[in-house]
Amino acid sequence: MNDNVDALSVNKIVIVCDSCDWEHEAQTFDEARTYYDKHCPKCDAKLMTEKDIAMSEQMMGLIEASLQLANIMYPDGVPPEETNASAHIYKDQDTGKYNIDVEIPDGE
């Protein structure tokens, strides 16, 4: 079994202020966690709450579970018909709910 199937990966972790347009691209999930209980340098709003951290950990768990499933489905590695899909997870400022936008390029 190939333990290194890269069928799904985290390419970017961005901390975004829910109150203004400030954002910061974290290099690792551990770096992103350092923004817990910190305030936005632009508008002073709280950047990450316990709920944000819990949701992020759940998403990372989902990604890990997906990688494990990919290893079961494709024991010889990722099939040649890879898809360059991307997902954007964000909190809707009007509803307060988290949304996931998935984009799959045309022709894939």
Are the beta carbons of 53 and 33 closer than 8 angstroms? yes
pTM above 0.85, yes or no: no
Are the beta carbons of 87 and 101 closer than 8 angstroms? yes
- What is the widest separation between alpha-carbon atoms in the chain? 50
Residue by residue, pLDDT tens for the chain (108 residues) are 344 445 556 667 888 888 898 999 888 888 888 988 899 999 999 988 888 888 878 877 777 777 777 677 666 765 555 556 666 677 777 887 776 766 655 554
Which residues does 107 contact at the CB level (< 8 Å), separation at least 6? none
CA dist 38 and 47 (Å) reads 6
